[in-house]
Structure formats: C-alpha cells, structure tokens
Amino acid sequence: MSPLPPQPISPLDGRYRAAVEELGEHLSEAALNRARVHVEVEWLLALAARGLFGAAPVEPEKAAALRAFAADFGAPEIARLAELEATTRHDVKAVEYLVRERIAALDLDRVAELTHFACTSEDVNNLSYALTIRDAVHRIWLPKAQGVLALLEERARAERATPMLAHTHGQPATPTTFGHELAVFAFRLRRALERVDGVAILGKLNGATGDYAAHVVADPDTDWPAVSREFVEGLGLVWNPLTTQIESHDWQAELYAAIAHANRVLHNLCTDVWTYISMGYLTQIPQAGATGSSTMPHKINPIRFENAEANLELSTALLDSLAATLVTSRMQRDLTDSTTQRNVGVALGHSLLALDNLTRGLGEVAVDRPALLADLEANQEVLAEAIQTVIRAEVVAGRSSIRDPYALLKDLTRGHRLTADELRDFVQRLDIGDAAKRRLLALTPAGYTGIAAELVDHLE
C-alpha cells in the first residue's frame, strides 16, 4: 500500500475546516507568533518612549514601521521564525531575534537591547495568549453563539402561542407552547453568553518570578509596577499585580468554564430538538440533493443536531480539562501549560463547528402544528391536574364537598386513556360551582397552557 500524502490529523483541519478556519487567524501557532512580535515591539517602544537608560523615543515613522512589521506578519516571517527556532530551540527567543533583525534593518541599533528587556518568556506569552484568546472569543466564537441565540429568540416569538404537549419524565404532562420551550433555552443561553462576555482577561509583565528583580537592579528609581500596569492596560487587558513567573491562568479557567456551560445549554437544546424530530413535532425541510440514508430513501436524518451534540461534547471535555489543569503550576513555574494552551483552538473549534451546525439545523426544521394538536387531543388525561386543582379551590371556597380530589382524578385517569366526551361527562357530574364547571367544560389540552405565550415576553 502506498503511503498517503501528508494529511491533517484533526477533522477541524480537514473535513470541517471551512466552518472553523476563522479561528486560525487567532488561535494558530502563526497567530500566537504574530501576537508575540506585537508584544515585543510595543514593549520596546514603551520603554524608549519613557526615555529609560537615556534612550530617545523611536522616531514616529520608524515606530510605525515596527508596528507594521507586527501587523503584517505573514508567510516570510513564519518561514524565518522556523529557521531561527531550528537553532534556538526556543520559540520566544526566536521571536526576539526576528524582532532584532527588523530593528537592525531600520537602523535602530541604539534601542536594540530594549528588545525583550527584563522579560521572561512568560511575560510575552501570557500577554500574547490573552490577546489571541480574547480576539478569538469576542470576534469569532461569541458572535456565532449570539447568532444562534438570535435564531432561538426569533423562533420562540414566532411559536409563542403554538400549543404543545409537554413531557416530564418522558410522559405526557401539562401542555406548554413550543415558543415557551425555545424561550427557556434562549434565556439560559443569553445568561451563559453574558458570563463569557464578562470574564476579565488578565495579563502581567513582571519578570522571572513576578517581583521585578531584574527591572529594579537595572533602574531602581523607576516605578516598575506602574510601567507594567500602563503597558498591560494599553494592550486592552486587565493588569494582574500578583503572580509568580506565570500569569496564574485563573481568567482562562473562568472563561473556559463559562464557554463549557454555554456548550452544555446548547447540548440540551440539541437533544430536545432531536427528540421533537423523532416524535414528529418538528419536520425537517428537505435540502436539494441531500441524502438522508445510504439505503433508505425516505429518511432525513437529523445530522445537524447529532453533529452539534458530538462536537459540543468534545469541546466541553477539552475546556473542562483546560480549566482544571491550567490553574496549577509547580512552585514558581512549570511548562505543562505550554502544551495545554496550544489546544485552546481545538476546544473552541469543536464548539464553533457545533454552532455552525445548530445555525444550519434550526433553519432546516419546521413545527408540525397539526401533529402537535393531534397529540394534545389524544391525551385528554393531562387535564386531570386542572380539574383536581379547581376542585380544591372550590372546596376551600365552600362550593364543593368532594374529599381528596387528587385521589378522585388519579382513579379516573392513571393508566387510562379518556376521550374528550368522557372527560366532559365526568366534569358535568362534579359537585362544584357553576362558574368553575363552565371553565372546566370549556377547557381543552390545547388551551391548557397557562401564560406560556406571555412568558416569552421575558426575552425582551
């Protein structure tokens, strides 16, 4: 057997690449190195701008050229970094040397030693990861998730008054509306996304063990924590004043836990929609040319929701692992986070793929209202709750002498299917007030939805 040409191992880089490739702009190795170059350049410019050690600020046009070098980081820089790292065997040191080459090309040798000044690799890495993860979540993942939320809210409003038989423990239960059930998911997802959006993303720049030791020796008179804070906040991050060599990654754990929670809400949505499809409450809209089953021509399989379900499980497992492990580092530093953080893109990629499938899937299903009504009519016994509750109220009001209304209705309905006529006949013979009797006689399963429709307004 001939060997295959080089192939991607992960389906995210193969079969599903089109759905997730935007993440590569932020969570690839190249994106990380671009962010590293950006941090190195900005740190050098910040130190020079302060005139530290007698350095003069970098001229505006050369500062702009350095920033353009970081912003335009592309194939030539990626190739050169690979060459440098083959010698350094250290990724951040290779980035430092790449920046120094650009500094030399701009005739900025006078500030060359400000490159990576007093920095440990983690000073550059933690800020670079913070920037790339922030942008991946807020520019790619969160808008996609908010798109699913908008679809849910739209469908919830459209189906707010569509009655549906509920199923608690898988058994026929008090009716609701389809819109109300979608609104529940929308409300849950909105809260989960607000938590994701609200996570503070931290950064630090304080040296080898977090105490500015090298900084202070080089210049005892500079307020280095103030310099660090101004720099970190200038990158759009929240300054962490107390760390070891590494930024403690607690913000990452918080973020991944929040995204994992959103994943779980969406996973529950997938399982419910799948179930409603299997029950015939939802019909799948045929897509031109699509094959549902390789052998059964009649089938349309709910693959969008099954695919989303599986990818949410993979994403959540990875996010849980990241959240659990990144918060531990032996004493002042170990390198376990170096490998784990490189898989953030994989974790978010599986979630993004699920969001893509959910977006498509929700646009390919329709509510079968006749099927919903038929199921409601076939389960008249769900009105037992309403009847026994009204009897209780009548007993309290002194308009009925019935003892143990619950037992009365249990004997009538448990294990029995009743027709609408049989139930009306039962109500006619009840010892209750005329007004209560009229309300019950007018009641149908489709009309027994309480204020489900009005509750959808809480989405506003």
* Catalytic residue set: 169, 293
Q: What is the DSSP letter of 335?
A: S
Number of H helices, E strands in the chain: 21, 6
Sign of CA dihedral 354, 358, 361, 367: positive
Q: What is the DSSP letter of 460?
A: -
Spatial distance between the Cα atoms of 401 and 330, rounded to a whole number of angstroms: 73
With contact defined as beta carbons under 8 Å apart, do 256 and 288 qualify? no
Element (H, E) at 45: helix 29-49
Strand duo 202-203 + 238-239: pairing: parallel
Residue 298 burial (10 A CB sphere; 0-12, 13-18, 19+):
exposed
Within its chain, how far is the Cα of 296 from the centroid?
36
Spatial distance between the Cα atoms of 200 and 258, rounded to a whole number of angstroms: 12
Spatial distance between the Cα atoms of 408 and 365, rounded to a whole number of angstroms: 41
Question: At a CB cut-off of 8 Å and minimum separation 6, what does 268 contact?
Answer: 185
Element (H, E) at 282: strand 282-284
Query: Which of 411, 415, 437 lies closest to 425, judged by CA?
Result: 437
Question: At a CB cut-off of 8 Å and minimum separation 6, what does 19 contact?
Answer: 352, 353, 356
Neighbour count for residue 216 (Cβ, 10 Å) = 14
Neighbour count for residue 82 (Cβ, 10 Å) = 11
Q: What is the DSSP letter of 59?
A: P
Within its chain, how far is the Cα of 190 from the centroid?
10
Report angle CA 248, 249, 254 to the nearest 5 degrees: 130
With contact defined as beta carbons under 8 Å apart, do 397 and 433 qualify? yes
